[in-house]
Amino acid sequence: MLGSGTCVPSLKRSSPALIIKAGGKVLLFDSGSGTIRRMLEAGITYHDIDYIFYTHIHPDHVSDLVPFIFTSKYAEQPRIKQLDIIGGKGFKKFYKKLSKVYGKWLEPELYKINIKEISNKRIDFGNFKVTTKPLAHIKESVGYRIETEARSERSESNGKSIVISGDTDYCKNLVKLGKDADILVLECSLPDEKRVKGHITPSLCGRIAAESNCKKLVLTHFYPSCDNVDIAGICRKYYKGEIVIAEDLMRIEA
């Protein structure tokens, strides 16, 4: 977990970003401001990332994309490995506009950037499979389910599944996406009494986790007022499984 916060500047919680290591690949989900520095704190550089997935294009989720690509070109050791960037519908248009603004500063020389839009699909990436579903936040919003397969029949390590909500309101697609997941990562923006449309609260997180029957629930994307509330306690009224309140640089095993 690189950033467990929101758009609100906080020394404790950086803007949204998390890394999943799956099938030998390194996947970055969202890159709010401060992500490439948090990556360093986690021992990961811009060379290591194979894929970047975006849940949506709100600035608190994408603002370190430009610095990521800029440093990949102009650092003393430029990136040479292909970079796949994946987003929901509309992401290509967004990227085109960014390219127009920054021109050659965003054009890689020694590697290739592949942009892919996916929404409501299941795609086999070889080392892992990705299912996406549109979620209830803005029209480009998608949630992701990443699945790995068991390495061999005799192996103890079964396939794992992890689901990332990004920002979202309560919706059936999220429950479907999270069905029986090993880890369900949900945004938990604000306490129940401060609920705003397009985001979920501890009670709603608990309901979604219970309905999807996930094995472990990880809550993140906390506005500062969440830090004065017993988030897990409220959530537990609905969901009986393990609840993790995310913190920056926390590592979670599936």
Cα 212 from Cα 117, distance rounded (Å): 26
Confirm or reject binding of residue 30 to Zn ion (CB under 5 A): no
Residues between 45 and 64 with contacts to Zn ion, criterion CB under 5 A: 58, 60
Q: Rounded to the nearest whole angstrom, what is the least distance from the CB of residue 86 to Zn ion in the complex? A: 17
When asked if residue 25 is in the footprint of Zn ion (CB under 5 A), the reply is no
Question: Between residues 61 and 145, which has the closer beta carbon with respect to Zn ion?
Answer: 61
User: Residues near 182 by Cβ (< 8 Å), separated by ≥ 6?
Assistant: 160, 161, 162, 214, 215, 216, 254
For Zn ion, the binding residues in 60-119 under the rule CB under 5 A are 60
Question: Residue from 117, 140, 147, 167 that binds Zn ion (CB under 5 A)?
Answer: 167
Give the neighbor-by-neighbor strand order of the sheet with 18-22: 18-22, 25-29, 51-53, 83-87, 113-117
Shortest Å, Cβ 165 to Zn ion: 11
Please count the CA atoms within 13 angstroms of the CA of 182 that sit on its side-chain side: 13
Closest approach of Zn ion to the CB of residue 27, in Å: 19
Query: Can residue 13 be called a binding residue for Zn ion (CB under 5 A)?
Result: no
Nearer to Zn ion, 58 or 129 (CB): 58
Q: How far is the CB of 223 from Zn ion (least distance, A)?
A: 9
- Residues at the contact surface with Zn ion, assessed by CB under 5 A: 58, 60, 167
